[in-house]
Amino acid sequence: MGYTVIVIDPKGDKGLVKTTQTACISAGRQSDYLYFHPGHPEESINLNLLANSTRTDEIASRIADSLPGQGGESQPFIDMGRGALRTICVGLAILGRKPTFRNLHYFFANRRELAEQVLYQVLTKTYGADVIEEALAGKKSASKLETLIVFYQSRRMVTPELESIIALAERDEDSFSKTTQSTWLLLTALASGDLGRKLSPSEDGDKKPFYDTRKIIEQRCVFYMGLDALTDSGMARAIGSMMLADLASTAGARYDFETAPAPVMLFVDEAAELTCEPLTQMLNKSRGANFSICLASQTISDFVAKAKDRAEALRILANLNNFFALRCNDPETQRFLMERIPKTRVQTTVKAHGVSTSARNLIAEGGSVSERVMEEEADLVPAPLLSALPNCEYFGVVAGGHVIKGRIPILVETAQDFKEGA
């Protein structure tokens, strides 16, 4: 149908990769197929997960929200890392540079250099290069920042942005590293090695093509994203949640500025692995941007375990309109689906007959025949049936309360394949 199709697969299942490729070939869309997998950088496209944002602090929240320990004892440290990233993003915006994992990682470790570059640029624009160079004349490299700070403060040109950049540069190194260790480790992983080259556009003039969610949608690509969760579940969750956050930002822009956005199909396998606020926002609000989203998971318990809170898990599931369940042995998942299937009323007919005799006459003297119809409420689909379904058979509950009992056909390319698989 020419749709944009995005498949996010935390496990990186080879069968799903082959299925996606085969579907593109069958549809004559081989050139639209894109692939990304952290474990196969040589086959992966370059992907900028920070390309689309509407606010300066959005990138900082996108990275911080992908860290584990949200809402727990680690939250204060996550917020400290978020604050540092927000300040660095403000500094990069003043310098006219786009945030990437590599320059965020660099300035996270070199905060004084960022403050020096920002102050020099702001003061030069305000007072002229000659005045600033004269103030810096004869100063050692190590004292240039202090000179610029004194010059800035003496002119009383206080702004919240510059104050925060200076405060970050003057933070005690030991205290800063202890309180932002988790953020630093994540940035290091995202900026290093082959993965870093795949996720961070170069700023040295290298024009290697980089994709982002907006470009993928505009070019109507079929994009498969494997996350290699079996090898590193933490990194898989971080990349997946940032991909969803970039998609959410793109969906917001489409909703605001496009009158008839092209359809986008988003499939998320093992969706419980990517429970995060961007996913909830996509489920809640992206329909207006012409997104259709399909989530696949093993059980409802997976969502509860990953969300760390049952209410949060149900908040995600409440945004889904249609449910399809194959064979499932988990009682909680069975109850979850049964609660969405309307009850039915079952009629029961009770028939009875009798004869009457007496002590004097054993031959029947009379008889009776009765028939009674009773009606009672019952489950349309008893929960135990979900654990007894054959392969590829399912129950579905679609919007409006319609219930479907169906079977998914197994598609093969040739008749010979069917005979061999029989």
For residue range 208-248, what is the model confidence (pLDDT) as tens digits? Answer: 789 999 999 999 999 999 999 888 888 999 999 999 999 99
Whether 47 shows a pLDDT value over 70: the answer reads yes
Distance separating alpha carbons of residues 279 and 237, to the nearest angstrom: 12
H/E segment holding residue 186: helix 181-191
Q: Give me the CATH topology for the region 1-45+211-320.
A: Rossmann fold (3.40.50)
Q: Are 248 and 283 in contact (CB under 8 A)?
A: no
pLDDT over 90 at 56, yes or no: no
Confidence of residue 422 (pLDDT cuts 50, 70, 90): low
Give the side-chain half-sphere CA count within 13 A for 228: 12
Distances (CA, A) of 22 to 19, 174, 255, 317: 5, 53, 32, 31
Q: Which of 113-122, 129-138, 327-336, 350-359: highest mean pLDDT?
A: 113-122
Cα separation of 90 and 164, whole Å? Answer: 9
260 near 276, Cβ under 8 Å? no
pLDDT at 204 > cutoff 60: yes
- The pLDDT of residue 37 is 94
C-alpha distances (whole Å) from 339 to each of 72, 335, 381, 384, 402 are: 32, 6, 10, 14, 13
- pLDDT of 126 > 80? The answer is yes
Structure tokens at 127: 């007072």
For position 420, what pLDDT does the model report?
Answer: 60
**The predicted structure's pLDDT at residue 196:** 92
62: Cβ contacts below 8 Å, ≥ 6 apart: 49, 50, 53, 241, 242, 245, 246, 278
pLDDT at 205: 58
Q: Is residue 275 very low, low, confident or very high in pLDDT (cuts 50, 70, 90)?
A: confident
- Average pLDDT over the chain reads 89
Mean pLDDT of 386-414: 87
User: For residue range 145-196, what is the model confidence (pLDDT) as tens digits?
Assistant: 999 999 998 888 778 999 999 999 999 999 999 999 999 999 999 999 999 9
Q: How confident is the model at residue 206 (pLDDT cuts 50, 70, 90)?
A: low
What is the 3 state secondary structure string of 297-365?
CCCHHHHHHHHCCHHHHHHHHCCCCCEEECCCCCHHHHHHHHCCCCCEEEEEEEEEEEEECCCCCCCCC
* Residue 173: predicted pLDDT: 92
Residue 119, SS3 per DSSP: helix
Label residue 257 by pLDDT band (50, 70, 90). Answer: confident
pLDDT at 313: 86
Query: Percent of the chain, pLDDT > 90?
Result: 53
Centroid of chain to Cα 144:
44
Sheet holding 4-9, edge to edge: 33-36, 222-226, 4-9, 264-268, 291-295
Distance, CA of 174 to CA of 160 (rounded, Å): 25
Angle between helices 75-94 and 111-127 (to 10 degrees): 40
Cα gap 243→62, rounded to integer Å: 9
The two beta strands, 393-398 and 291-295, are: unpaired
So where are the chain's domains? 1-45+211-320, 50-209, 344-378
Helix axes 277-285, 233-257, angle to 10 degrees: 30
Note the pLDDT of residue 421.
Answer: 52
Taking the C-alpha atoms of residue 324 and residue 130, their distance in angstroms, rounded to an integer, is 70
CB-CB contact of 276 with 246 (8 Å): no
What integer pLDDT is reported at residue 223 of this predicted model? 97
Q: What is the CA radius of gyration of the chain?
A: 31
Q: What are the pLDDT digits (tens) for 14-33?
A: 999 999 999 999 999 999 99
Predicted local distance difference test score (pLDDT) of residue 115: 95
- pTM, two decimals, is 0.85
* pLDDT at 29 (0 to 100): 94
Instruction: Please give the Cα distance from 137 to 339 (Å, whole number).
Output: 76
Question: What percent of the chain shows pLDDT beyond 70?
Answer: 98
Residue type, position 164, single letter: S
CA 24/CA 332 separation, integer angstroms: 37
pLDDT score for 187: 94
Q: What gap in Å lies between CA 401 and CA 308, rounded to an integer?
A: 30
For residue 364, is pLDDT > 90? no
Q: Is 377 helix (H, G, I), strand (E, B) or coil?
A: strand
> Which residue stretches of 30-71 are H helix?
58-64
Tokens coding 408: 């998914």
Q: Supply the pLDDT for residue 381.
A: 87
